[in-house]
Amino acid sequence: MEKLENLTGVYIVEDHIATENLNPTIKVYGERLVEFEGKEYRIWDQRRSKLGAAIMNGMDMFPFEEDSKVLYLGASSGTTPSHISDIISEGIVWCVEFSPRMMRSLVELSRSRNNMIPILDDATKPLNYLQILEKVDIVYSDVAQPKQSELFMDNMRLYLKPEGIGIIMIKARSIDVTKSPKKIFKEEESKLKKGGIRVLEKINLEPYEKDHMAMVCELAF
């Protein structure tokens, strides 16, 4: 077992990436649990987590720290947020999810993870949860819809600290099925730049996620 350099809270266990389980003995999505020197680790399935896929593909800028405050847009049932919850054991992850069905699973998960706060709301309307949140260190967006870059920027402008980092998982096929993913990625990057967002790193998520690109960003002043 080894700790990955520059990636806080991420480990290599038996040739797999993993996080130390914040809630020992409890699985979130059927992942394998591994014990090592008195600690328990959750194997991180990169085929079920775009952040896991980005790490496997050499993600260099990894802003998560033990005390990070994170706004997660498109939390679904909580697979990736649960690994972030492991990493930011002294921080908070606010999990915005639009689907009531997914929210039921997310609420159940959050009962055993005190640093996860589920929010049933629409990420395209960030003012809706203004009274719940504070400024965050990281805005993480995984919302597969045509306006995914726009809602990402709106949330960054409203909630991200000046020195904070944004991460967006762009799904090309949710934007336009008639264009090539490569063209869409360029167009979305251009949107971000025009919107005052500086792109710091780009990671293609193949072969784990088809037609997906992760972009790590910051506010440009």
9-26: average pLDDT:
96
Kindly list the domain boundaries of the chain, sorted by start residue: 45-219
Is the pTM here over 0.75, yes or no?
yes
pLDDT at position 219 over 90:
yes
**CA dihedral defined by 73, 182, 16, 40, rounded to 10 degrees?**
-10
pLDDT at 205: 98
For the cut 90, the answer to whether the pLDDT of residue 18 exceeds it is: yes
Q: Name the band, by pLDDT with cuts 50, 70 and 90, for residue 114.
A: very high
Q: What one-character DSSP code corresponds to residue 49?
A: -
Q: Which one has a higher pLDDT value, 5 or 199?
A: 199
Establish how many alpha carbons lie within 13 A of residue 120's alpha carbon, considering only the half-sphere containing its beta carbon: 9
Given a cut of 90, whether residue 136 has pLDDT beyond it is yes
Instruction: Report cis status (omega within 30 of 0) of the bond before 207.
Output: yes
pLDDT band at 184 (very low <50, low <70, confident <90, very high): very high
Which pLDDT does position 5 carry in this prediction? 81
76, amino acid identity:
S
pLDDT tens column, 23-72: 999 999 999 999 999 999 999 999 999 999 999 999 999 999 999 999 99
CATH 1.10.10.10 fits 45-219, yes or no: no
Around Cβ 37, how many Cβ atoms within 10 Å? 5
The average pLDDT across 89-113 equals 97
